[in-house]
Chain A
């Protein structure tokens, strides 16, 4: 009997440690990024890193390590992506939750799942062979590898997240809300716009934020389709180089344990912090909403 109790305790302990592991991994990633980027700041001033727009680590004269131009590039393609994917995603979600027949819903669900399953490198490839030439033709450019291209592709990548989470949010609005609205003589459309979407708004915001998180952290599509010119972008038709693509391009070429190498981990740390903030704030919004619902 004692033995059995011991065994149970040990099993419980093993599972508890297993659960704790994810906390350790998350802290581990953060700690590793911090410790690997700290040496960079022996040679580079933090001010230059955060506020200079010039990133030129391999210059013969004087290397510079400023992340502003990539930060702007990342925010630009993300903003472009959200301008496309949020209205499209909410529209699709609203159609699925309010208009579609069960049959259409049966067909639409796998469509969204398949879209989510397409590897990012394939989307990036299509950015080169399909979207790029199209953009070049429309705007009369030499090539179509620029911020618009990146935005279009990232919108495709963010869509499944936005659609499925917004649909969940719309579905969780109590039936009595729309029944009350319809009973007062409102049309289905008015009910959707004035009652259901406002009631589901925090869920929809969370969906959009998680879509944004995905777009900020996405590497392959922007690496392949935005041209990656390391300069401050002036407009959406400029070639841009995001934080993720800078790491992807340069980490393979730098020798380990140089200032340049450490600085790339610094960029990784900035990325980690940004996505962490996005995730945490969506978490907070969601919890507030849940508490209110109760």
Chain B
């Protein structure tokens, strides 16, 4: 009996150690970036152009570039993602085509991000003649984000009780009227939460924008959606591997990493607050 008990204690300690390690990993990551990156943050760093071959100055164009690309990503991925989710949850019956659509979504979310980059080069940069630009990069990221926004939006739609739909239909509403008035108003906050989480992931991606528009060094703001741009993740990559004076620019790299993480987390936090308020509203 004691042997059994001992084994149980040992086993559970092992499990405790594993979760401890996972927590420790996160603490180390955040501690390193925050302790070495936060000191670099100043108004000047956030609001000025890079200078002297990026050894001095700020990261404004990279911040602007990332924001613009993420907006394009959202314009593509949000309506299409929501539309697909509406089809799957409200219209589709369990048919071969529906299963094919679901299988495609799962596979799309497993396609490596660099493969999306290759796709973007051929489709947007070359065939559609958009060139290496904010537009090409944003559309590439938009396609990559699509499976995530679909999955999140469908979850939100699923959480709307069937009685809401039936109530509208019983009053003689058409299917679309029922969706519009009795389903979407309740589902949209949840859809947005999931979508924002997806966009936050897209904002931090590097591989898909490597060849579709991100530029090494542009000490000015993008003039149009057809110009190349600097982006935070790409800037961090450049500053930590490709720069000619890597050790000298390390503080800038840390500062960039800090800003990138702060941006992604702010988006996450926003989504989480939205989810929290939504839950509270439901309880009431």
A and B physically associate: yes
* A19 with B18: CB separation less than 8 A: no
Of A40-48, A56-64, A110-118, the one contacting chain B is A110-118
Q: Is the CB of B175 within 8 A of A12?
A: yes
Q: Quick check: A219 and B113 within 8 Å, CB to CB?
A: yes
- Smallest CB gap from A125: residue in B: B240
Max chain B Cβ within 10 angstroms of own Cβ: one of A18, A21, A113, A283: A18
Q: Which residues of A contact B25 (CB under 8 A)?
A: 115, 156, 159
> What is the CA–CA distance of A89 and B233 in the complex, to the nearest angstrom?
27
**Size of interface on B: residues with Cβ below 8 Å to A:** 86
Q: Among the listed A15, A99, A108, A251, which residue makes an inter-chain contact with B118, where contact means beta carbons less than 8 Å apart?
A: A251
Check B52 for interface membership: any CB of A closer than 8 A: no
Please state if A129 and B32 are interface contacts (CB–CB under 8 Å).
yes
Known contacts: A156-B25, A218-B112. The answer to whether A22 contacts B205 by CB under 8 A is no
> Which partner residue on chain A sits nearest B109 by CB separation?
A279
| Complex contacts, B143 vs chain A, CB 8 Å | 25
Asked if B118 contacts A121 (CB within 8 A), the reply is no
State how many angstroms separate the Cβ of A12 from the closest Cβ of chain B. Answer: 6
Given contacts A8-B174, A252-B211, A283-B103, whether A18 and B18 have CB atoms under 8 Å apart is no
Q: Which of B92, B100, B113, B176 contacts A7 (CB 8 A)?
A: B176
Bound-state Cα–Cα, A32 to B123, Å: 8
Is A119 a contact of B206 with CB atoms below 8 Å?
yes
A118: which of B119, B253, B261 is its contact (CB, 8 Å)?
Answer: B261
* B110 in contact with A189 (CB, 8 Å): no
Give bound CA distance, A275 to B109, whole Å.
10
* Chain A contact residues, majority secondary structure: helix
Q: How far is the CA of A97 from the CA of B255 in the complex (A)?
A: 38
Q: How many A-B residue pairs have CB under 8 A?
A: 255
- Complex Cα spacing A25 to B148, Å: 14
Inter-subunit contact B32/A247 (CB<8 Å): no
- Taking the complex as formed, is B226 at the interface, i.e. its CB lies under 8 A from any CB of chain A? no
Q: Restricting to B82-115, which residues have a CB under 8 Å from any CB of A?
A: 83-84, 86-88, 90-92, 97-98, 100-101, 103-108, 110-115
Number of chain A interface residues as a range: 35 or more
| Any A CB within 8 A of the CB of B204 | yes
A91-B14, A219-B114 known; A22+B122 contact, CB < 8 A? no
With A122-B236, A187-B4 already in contact, the answer to whether A88 and B21 are too (CB < 8 A) is: yes
Q: Is the CB of A94 within 8 A of B15?
A: yes
Q: Is the CB of B205 within 8 A of A217?
A: no
Q: Are B112 and A21 in contact (CB under 8 A)?
A: no
> Are B112 and A275 in contact, with the CB atoms below 8 A?
yes
> Which among B5-13, B40-48, B54-62 touches the partner chain?
B5-13
- Please determine whether A219 and B112 come into contact, CB atoms closer than 8 angstroms: yes
**B111 & A189 in contact (Cβ 8 Å cutoff):** no
- Does any Cβ of A come within 8 Å of B283's Cβ? no
Distance in angstroms from B216 CB to nearest chain A CB is 10
Closest to B267 in A: A117
A188 CB-CB contact with B under 8 Å: yes
Closest-by-CB residue of A relative to B233 is A121
Say yes or no for B171: interface residue by CB 8 A criterion: no
Please tell me if B64 contacts chain A, counting CB pairs below 8 Å: no
Q: Does A190 contact B (CB under 8 A)?
A: yes
B72 near A: Cβ within 8 Å?
no
| 6 A-B pairs closest in CB distance | A217-B112, A119-B204, A91-B18, A19-B87, A189-B8, A18-B83
- Residues of A that sit less than 8 Å from B by CB: 4, 7-8, 11-12, 14-16, 18-23, 25-26, 28-29, 32-33, 36, 87-92, 94-96, 98-100, 108, 110-115, 117-126, 128-130, 156, 159, 163, 187-190, 192-193, 210, 213-214, 216-220, 223-224, 244, 247-248, 251-252, 256, 264-265, 268, 271-272, 275-276, 278-280, 283
Between-chain CB contacts (< 8 Å), 8 pairs:
A16-B87, A20-B101, A96-B19, A115-B22, A120-B204, A122-B261, A276-B110, A279-B107
